Amino acid sequence: MRKLKVLIIDDSALVRQTLTEIINADPMLEVMATAADPYLAAQKIKQSIPDVITLDIEMPRMDGLTFLKALMAQYPLPVVIISSLTQNGSSLALRALDLGAVEIIAKSEIRNTREYLEESTIRITDTIKAASMVHVRKRSITSVASTSQMGSDQTIANHPGSKISGHKNIDSVNSKIYSTTDKVIAIGASTGGTEAIRFLLKNIPANCPGILIVQHMPAGFTRSFAEQVNTLCDINVKEARDGERVMRGHAYISPGDKHMQLVRNGAQYTIRLREGELVNRHKPSVDVLFNSVAVSAGQNALGIIMTGMGKDGASGLLKMKEAGARTIAQDESSCVVFGMPKEAIKLGAADQIISLTDLPKKILAHFGTPFVLLR
């Protein structure tokens, strides 16, 4: 099998060297070339087209976002962003996803310690392999809108009635109108998941059951992602905190360096965040979340497995189904990478296979009367 060719673009010689060692150690990958800035990278691409590019954002001569825009307009290739964990770096990396990048890796994951390097190796090589499977579409530089500028045309507006109007001050509404406070939605996603989750949450009504989300993403980026999505939604979207109660009208995204579990506390659900080893090569792991939901919520839960490479979440979704929960897998045509849903379907874990555009309507139809139209 031909090895996947990788072009590394980073102004740090140490990062280029470390990435080269990690990538070349994998039998499926090889570093085609490295470049200290986008101008040098452009010369390399003219000589030979790589399968995947790893790209730093903050670089001299030309920043990574400017290069990414030009690349997507001329040579649309799978790009994995390498970014620092600063707040600015996190925001820019999320902007890069809007511009066409496939995935994010935290630059601080590349540290010269044996233990941390081992964990980073899994993350880096898996991400590059997943990126190579993505079909990247060509984009004009002028057509790319920022996430904050996305309007109703980017939502499910072409499906009348699917988006229920509401407001974010859900806790101020008389709780007596809710008859099913013990419902919960659990979602797992990886490659391509940020865009899919953004679309889904934008089309969920403000009085929906509490939503727990595991998106494979490095620590430091999940909070920025949650804050970004929160500006687009009727529901409250936030990074989860250990011990907090799961509330209706809220979506909780697991921090990028901790496993998230659902715990039943009498008539309430709470969130447990914990350290631990990688599960299915990931932390947070979708299986860890789904397994806990199966135990704590059973038939009161809805499980959704979305786009991503690998098998994380497949067995957990099956346990949810066996516990009486309804389960959904995103269909192949709407997935960026049809890996995790495919594995779940092979196990017989999915009750239904649904396209991304139909998921909000399906959630509404499933819960039916528990949804109350807020005025």
- For residue 359, which of 335, 325, 323 has the smallest C-alpha distance? 335
The rounded radius of gyration (Å) of the Cα atoms in the chain is 20
Rounded Cα gap, residues 125 and 111, in angstroms: 15
CB-count burial class (<10 Å; 0-12, 13-18, 19+) for 99 = buried
And the tokens for 113?
């310690």
Task: Report whether 281 contacts 289 (CB < 8 A).
Answer: no
Query: How many CB atoms sit inside 10 A of residue 311's CB?
Result: 18
Written as one string, the DSSP assignment of 257-284 is: TSEEEEEEETTEEEEEEE----BTTBSS
Active-site annotation, residues = 190, 216, 312
Task: Report whether 317 contacts 344 (CB < 8 A).
Answer: yes
Given phi > 0 = left and psi -120 to 50 = alpha, else beta, which region is 331?
beta
